[in-house]
Amino acid sequence: MEILLAAAIHDAKNALNALGVWLDKAQIECGGQSAALNQAKSITATISGQLVELLALYRAGEGNLRMAVEDQHLEDFLGDLITELSATGDTEGAEGSTAAPSIETDFAAAKEIDAWAFDAYLVKFVLLDALRNAMRHARQKIRFSIAAEPGGGIRFNVADDGDGYPDSILWAESTAKMTPESSGLGLSFARVIAERHATPSGRHGRVELANDGLGGTGARLSLILP
């Protein structure tokens, strides 16, 4: 099953990647910016991310999730993340909507902390998912920041100025429920990845959800890594 599932997901991801290349080509052919194509690219990237998450969750369930915990230069890591987000059209705004929410970043602490050990590949998908989610719910602004966690650890914060999480998500801390807007996949994935980051002294990562984002009532997701 593992092999079949992994192969199917692998194929689907490659197909999505090819689709992305065609969309890029279409964008050039139609002379630059097309909101519709941006939207299509963004959806492609979202599905691709979901496939990665699905496979990781399946493996975690089977006890086969492998993590590659290594030192990451935080500034490089965050730079790559932002590049990837804009390359997939996520920051361009959807057709019919007003301009896309703007992302305000505060990476000052990244320089200070310099490096941290985590699985860059998996954590990247957690944060991309959180950012895309914030993009959907924000009114105008998203704030993406990093900070040192008192007592050891680092904290990535993704906050928006939207309506905040519905109570059903906020109170269902351990079991991510299906809601009309979301399958709960992203949140389950984030929690598993956070939990699997651990230190020899027994500290684990975690995900924090709260409605104290921008303006004091927007949604905030924090990923804390030990």
Q: How far is the CB of 146 from other proteins (least distance, A)?
A: 14
- Contact between 86 and other proteins (CB under 8 A)? no
Structure tokens at 70: 């290594």
The rounded distance, in Å, linking the Cα atoms of 141 and 153 is 27
Subset of residues 1 to 20 that bind other proteins, contact rule: CB under 8 A: 6, 10, 13-14, 17
Give the SS3 label for residue 47: helix
**How many CB atoms are closer than 10 A to CB 37?**
20
Q: How far is the CB of 18 from other proteins (least distance, A)?
A: 9
The rounded distance, in Å, linking the Cα atoms of 208 and 96 is 33
Contact 160, 138 (CB under 8 A): yes
Stretch that binds other proteins, among 39-47, 72-80, 176-184, 209-217 (CB under 8 A): 72-80
Pick between residue 146 and residue 169 the one whose CB is nearest to other proteins.
146
Site string for other proteins, 110-149 (x = CB under 8 A): ----xxxx---x----------------------------
Structure tokens at 208: 């924090």
> How many residues touch other proteins (CB under 8 A)?
33
Q: Which one of 29, 71, 112, 195 is in contact with other proteins (CB under 8 A)?
A: 71
Pick between residue 68 and residue 99 the one whose CB is nearest to other proteins.
68
Per-residue burial over 54-71, b if 16 or more Cβ lie within 10 Å, else e, is bbbbbbbeeeebebebee
Query: If we measure between CA atoms, which residue out of 206, 93, 87, 77 comes closest to residue 139?
Result: 93
Q: How far is the CB of 20 from other proteins (least distance, A)?
A: 8
Pick between residue 2 and residue 29 the one whose CB is nearest to other proteins.
2
Q: Angle at CA 135, nearest 5°, toward 109 and 117?
A: 35
Stretch that binds other proteins, among 25-33, 91-99, 183-191, 194-202 (CB under 8 A): 194-202
Query: If we measure between CA atoms, which residue out of 144, 20, 23 comes closest to residue 78?
Result: 144
Q: How far is the CB of 207 from other proteins (least distance, A)?
A: 19
Query: If we measure between CA atoms, which residue out of 216, 121, 209 comes closest to residue 157?
Result: 209
Pick between residue 96 and residue 151 the one whose CB is nearest to other proteins.
151
Maximum Cα interatomic distance, the chain, rounded to a whole number of Å:
56
DSSP single-letter state for residue 30: T
Q: How far is the CB of 70 from other proteins (least distance, A)?
A: 6
Residues forming the site for other proteins (CB under 8 A): 6, 10, 13-14, 17, 52, 55, 66-71, 73, 76, 79-80, 83-84, 87, 114-117, 121, 152, 198-203, 226
